[in-house]
Structure 1
Amino acid sequence: MSHSKTESLNFYTYLCQNIGSEAIVKARRLKCISSDFASSNNLFPCIYSGSRGEGLDLEGSDIDVMRICSSYVVYESDKYIVHNWLPVLVMDTEDSPPCFTQLELYSNVNNLPNIFKQQLQQHRGKHLLSSELYKSQLLEQICFFGLGVKLNMHGPCLSDINDNLDFAICLKCDKWVFQAQPWISRPRLIWPSPELISKITSCGTLFVPIGNKGSIHENLQWRISFSVAEKILIFSFSHTQLLCYALLKILLKEIVNREEELKGLLCSYFLKTLMFWISEENVTSVWRPDNIIPCFMACLKRLLYCIEYSTLLHYFIPDNNLLYLRFNNKQRNTLINILKQSYKKGIRVFSSSQTLHDYRRFPCETARSMCEKTLYTVIVSMREYFYSPFITNSLFLLFTLLNHCKSELSRYIFKQSLTRSYQQMPCPLPHVNNPNNKQQYKFYKLDLSQLLVGVQSDAASGWLILASFFYSHKNYLTSIDIIKYTLSKCADESSLSMITLKQKNTLKLMSLLPFPSVVFNKFKLNSVIPTELKSPHMFDLLMCISSIPFAHFLRFLCCYHLHDLRTIRYCISKLSETVIEYSHSREQDSLVIIYNFLLLGIAFQMLGETELARTYFRIAAQYDLNGVSSASFRLRQFC
């Protein structure tokens, strides 16, 4: 084996540890796909896109979600129209450059509700759906119903002010549009295969609300999006291909974009397009782990060529040059110099990156314990982001996984979906418990059995929701026992005695992975919420709670009602310690920090220590830039 192959294998192993192994990438993808399936029967089905949807979870990656609007039906030509009660739109590319189209209303405008008419604009005697008006109205509606959540327009997407979440409401045509027809039959070597092409074209095309920048009709144009097709193509990559793609993204974000004048000039979409062209022009056998360094260098050389000649053709519609007038001469020369220096350094260029800076210190042999740790990290990550609030979605997901993917990982995802659904099923109850009321007692047992199924989700959140349930019924001592159990992270199967036989059999089938004592950092508390946490601010119903701080807070509430002054002070002390500790952790997101300080403020307010309460409410409000919590509302109560 030559030195270059040895180096490539070592580098490949290192990348699998830092970017993700083949199994890890599969886990991430399955998580996103299952979320897509779970929403497919909703009014606005969602599609995870971007790095996370592709199976990558790089530093700084945001969440990209595309939601398909079912309010319109889009056709590429009026000859394909079938009768439909929804407003019908037809593509009109006469005044649009390649990859863009206008959408003309085919239905009678007089029969449309005002909400649709407000999105239309007349042009040359036609009623066109304005991408600008569409986004503006959507933003107004979300702000109205979103109860103060602040969003910005970011291209075709709506983003939170921290740019952690991008989502676009797009339209869909079930046909593969005529502009991309030549892609189907153009000459190629092996990839993509005819089967893959057939699968892609059957998915149709999307339209996102953004026009060609600088066009006089920009506000009337919609960009033709191939996000679904691109996702399928990325999924067909070998792991070596995917890692080369990830290396290009890291090079762009952590090296090229250090130059202030270059930020935003290149984007991940360009790199994806580059990878598609290279993959189509090469045999698949070159993408091997022992050849990853030459493969990456070839990709980097191709990128340099594209910049030098300002040419990168759209993969599906080559008439569109993505780099046309993209940068001026100074920017182009700076970018070329950086890429040339990077090419000379080879993989040593990543020694100055944040993600891959420690490659030379990485041991060549991968210990099994490290693999297990990586799998554990993915399981935690999946549990943090995967959320299915309705049992119907879980059953739909089960049907999908049984028919399309029967792996152990898919069974784990279903288990998470089902147990979390059981956690959320009980409705918030008043502090009334009348054992003489048979109907109420029946609901009590039903809710309790559902929550007991929910405890199988992990070692913390399900038990804490159960403890909150007992607290809501003034069973403070039982709640305290469960909290102590949760904090000690030990198993006790005797607590499942009230589960029905059918539910026991379900739990037995769901005991799949060797992580029964995993404690996840946060969970959604939107059922059985303690009265003290409720407020007129509706978003507190979806509050994101840290497990350990909430455990101390809930124990404080129990002791407060039991007048146990000594333990109250102990709980306050532990709550303060954990909240301060979490606020200094880089791993905690702002939403968790907000509600941690909110818990602390409520506790001190209950004790009559108003100055401390005001201080912590103020800190929570300072973190809460989007206005998602009741922090500002509670702070105003002191005025």
Structure 2
Amino acid sequence: MDTDDVKPGYAQLKLDYSRRQSILKQCEEQNGKLYLSSLLYKQLLLRKEHNNSGSIHGPCITDPSGNFDNAHCLHCKTWESPAEQWISRSNNSWPSSNVTQSIIKHGVLFVPIGVKGSPKEDLEWRISFSVGEKFLINTFTHTQLLCYALLKIILKDVIATFSECKDLLCSYFLKTIVFWISEEVPQSVWKPKYLISCFMRCFSRLVYCVEHSVCPHYFIPENNTFENKIVGRPREVLLENLYMLHCHNWRCILFSDQISKYDLFSCNFPIEAHALYAKEVERILSSLLWYMADITLIYTPSEIINIRMKQTYFCQQSSGPSIKDVCKFYVSKWCQQHAQYVPLICYNKFQYQQYKLCLSTVINNIYHDAASGWLMIASLFYKTKQYSKALYIVSYSLWKCTPEKFCQMMMFSDIHYQLLKLQTFQKKSLICLLKILVVDDIKFKINSTLIPDELQMTEMDTSWTFPSTVYAYILNFLCYYHLNDVRQSQDSLHALQLVIRELYVVRSNKSAAGAYNFLGVALQLLGDTEYARHVFLQSVKLFLSDSHNSAVKRLLLLG
């Protein structure tokens, strides 16, 4: 093995002696020495196995039908000097000395492929530790395996769905990251109760590696496995998506359909007591109770009092909350609507008074759900050009807009049932639970003074209802746009695209159409008229209504 003037992790194989012509035919001369050619080796195998009717695919020979890749490797039973440091590197108990000795005893494999673009590419062989890696994976605890599996699920179900990111990452990089983390932290950490922290440690390391375009090979750290792979615009897109996922903490795994849409009842499990409690919450979210909380402005005062009395009684029968909690809930819903009619464009000394009146009213609308009330406060700050304050509130709201939260008319998943199984939540009243765990849509009335001007369409003759997550990202974009922060504006736009793509907390065609409208408005502001037209067309396809979908009129204005 000759590793001089070769990239770490690769080697040239110098022929010392052989009488076999078949071996000599696979060699090339260089500086008076014969080296085994990885290319000639594969060509010979192609002729032997498939009579040249197959093809060479990287280090593999592909059969004529294209169904199988066979990788023929050379086994070296001695440990390689570039990986000597690995034997004594770990200060942790992982891997154990027995496992280390087994890996060393097995040696390594030489895989017939060189460094792409290298002048000696056809004479180079990659040093593979795949058997040693299998030894390491066999030592994994269940928690280590779960972390690795969750990373692979995010890669396949979320990251790979973006065309520019599809081929950037592979499972080998994820496995390498888990190896490094396993070596760095004590084995006592890899327990089920620490699963979230372990997973986030691995995910944060992935983000760090992409940030710096560095992912050291586990056995030969001098070999950067990201070299010439995670670069340019695709790297930026990948990083933006990783940032978006990371900001959701462990909940980023819920972007995966196979996790977030898992159906508890399809498994025929016995229904536990907490499931009955969950059914009560589900019933409330799909019942008239939630609808009746929004009808304040279309009834007379006497009718409202009668409705409120019935609602209060209904709440008491559901879970026995205190009258104070019930009143706070409905006052909050009422304030969200009433604040939208306080005029903000005033003059002289009245302007500040009007602003204070609106602010005090909007502040009282945070007690009916986890996010929409805060977003209404952010809207007030945005309308009064207090963009930094608005961004702070939006960030807080997004922290609450997580996939395990409850929404109106939704189907409960196993995540929701497990959440309500927690004793912390079972001890709370239903009204209190709604305030903590529900993400309501944000609703703007006709002629609302709080809806951003960019989203207002005066021709529309109906109220506005948007998913809170979607509205949060467009408000984020608008704030950064007015602050002339191009990078953050683009990040917010990509985040909105991700929400639309994954249908994250978007439960209907009408909601999805509204999300596309927001995206189209943002694109118009950035000057991308053609893409904006395409987006508005998508909105119209999802929900065609002149009176309820502003995309129809926006398309007409674009011409």
TM-score, normalised to structure 1, is 0.40
TM-score, normalised to structure 2, is 0.46
Q: Looking at CA atoms only, which structure, 1 or 2, has the larger radius of gyration?
A: 2
